[in-house]
Amino acid sequence: MRLPQKNGAIDREKATALIHHAIDNGVNYIDTAWTYHGGQSESFLGDVLAGGYREKVRLATKMPHWLVNDRQDMDRILNTQLNRLRTDHMDYYLIHSLTADGWKRIKENGVLEFLDRAKEDGRIDNAGFSFHDSVDIFRQIIDSYDWDICLIQYNYLDENYQAGKEGLKYAAEKGIAVAIMEPLRGGNLARNIPPEVGNIWNEADLKRTPAEWGLRWIWNHPEVTVVLSGMNDISQVDENIRTASRAHPGSLTEEELGTVRKVAEKYRGLMTIPCTGCNYCMPCPAGVDIPGCFDLYNSNKIFGGANDGGTKHRYLLYQMDVLGERSSASLCINCGKCLEKCPQHIDIPEKLKDVEALFEGPVIKLKASAMRMALPLVRKIGPLKYRQMRKE
Ligand code: SF4
Ligand code: SF4
């Protein structure tokens, strides 16, 4: 999803060289999805992996469940993806970006029977899902099927966010492979480092780049199976491969872990709202995802700039009932029930007003309702026809 780009499209020459270089040097897992790069990622990868590279990697793609109208759509979408990727089977097939709402809908549409059938007929080797909701929902989904793999967000700032460490351990105990996304929070933990954070890294005896520290911290967990890192330059590929070859579960010393803890604390100190994501305030009777709202707000404030659009987009998808039930800050009815539960003594209703002001302006509201209106039509006529119709 983060391939090099030129004039708004994938820079085919650079991206091909990058992927071939990565595979030639030991990268053996490639992750894509229907939606990446405006729908171009899968067919581009199909071209890149032709001629012998497909056989050298485990290939993963994802079902855009929000485009699925019925059971037949699942077969149609998977077959299109196999076609685009120029392969007869997916090593890993994940339901993309599950939330409680998405899970309910796709299950009612027969996704478990579809996964069984696609495994039986050989189109899928391993079935899984990627996840964006609370750890309780994660446990429910994990317990609902004989999954082979799950994909969760995890990094040293997100130990208690969404599935988090609890979810990581729960899945691993059940023998399910755990792939990690956002290991460097979309690159924010690797670049534009605030000076206060940079000082801590510089004071460490061992000199490592922030990216290496972040990745080493994840690979230190024995429960982690594979880490997905978006790379768009050969120097990043080489650095990540060097890091991977040195990283082993349990290889960081107490002192090294202490350095990462200090950095995480420093980042938290820079957060405008001191929410730790502990979830004690949940559930909110009005349906506000309090830690989710605060996390996106803090991310926006710390990393700002280039991250601004990213946090707004995520808020739009996950808090404004485009991909799940609405859980946005503006639902707050100021009942005060959450206040006494917060160990950080955050004035939650007051802070939610700041979140609302940042994320629920007229443009985002308009975009959310446009997406909500478009979805039933996309499901009815199919995503390909819809895209064509929009072009016309
Ligand atoms: S004050 Fe607002 S956020 Fe807190 S529990 Fe009540 S409705 Fe939910
Ligand atoms: S209880 Fe407080 S610190 Fe914990 S998630 Fe809720 S707002 Fe954040």
Query: For ligand 2, what atom is nearest to the CA of residue 280?
Result: 1
Is 270 part of a structural domain of the chain? no
Q: Are residues 55 and 31 in the same domain?
A: yes
Is 247 part of a structural domain of the chain? yes
Q: Are residues 205 and 296 in the same domain?
A: no
Domain boundary among 220, 235, 264: 264
Domain boundary among 209, 230, 264: 264
Q: Are residues 194 and 307 in the same domain?
A: no
Query: For ligand 2, what atom is nearest to the CA of residue 348?
Result: 7
The DSSP symbol for 165 reads: H
By residue range, what is the domain housing residue 219? Answer: 5-264
Is 106 part of a structural domain of the chain? yes
Is 388 part of a structural domain of the chain? no
Proximal ligand: closest to the CA of 291: 2
Residue list, ligand 1 pocket, CB within 6 Å: 284-286, 288, 290, 332-338, 348-349, 352
Q: Judge whether 67 and 376 are in contact, CB under 8 Å.
A: no
Q: Are residues 306 and 237 in the same domain?
A: no
Tell me the CATH number at 176. Answer: 3.20.20.100
Whether 347 lines ligand 2, by a CB cut-off of 6 Å, is no
Q: Are residues 172 and 290 in the same domain?
A: no
Q: Are residues 233 and 299 in the same domain?
A: no
Domain boundary among 233, 264, 295: 264
Query: For ligand 1, what atom is nearest to the CA of residue 352?
Result: 3
pLDDT tens string, the chain, 392 residues long: the values are 889 988 889 999 999 999 999 999 999 999 999 988 889 999 999 999 998 999 999 999 999 998 899 999 999 999 999 999 999 999 999 999 898 889 999 999 999 999 999 999 999 999 999 998 889 999 999 999 999 999 999 999 889 888 999 999 999 999 999 999 989 987 889 887 889 999 999 999 999 999 999 999 999 999 999 999 988 899 999 999 999 999 999 999 999 999 999 999 999 888 889 887 777 888 899 999 999 899 899 888 887 655 566 788 888 887 877 766 788 999 999 999 999 888 778 999 999 999 999 999 888 778 777 777 777 776 666 655 655 655 55
Is 389 part of a structural domain of the chain? no
Q: Are residues 220 and 341 in the same domain?
A: no
Q: State the distance from the centre of ligand 2 to the C-alpha of 62, rounded, in angstroms.
A: 32
Total structural domains within the chain: 2
Proximal ligand: closest to the CA of 350: 1
Q: State the distance from the centre of ligand 1 to the C-alpha of 116, rounded, in angstroms.
A: 41
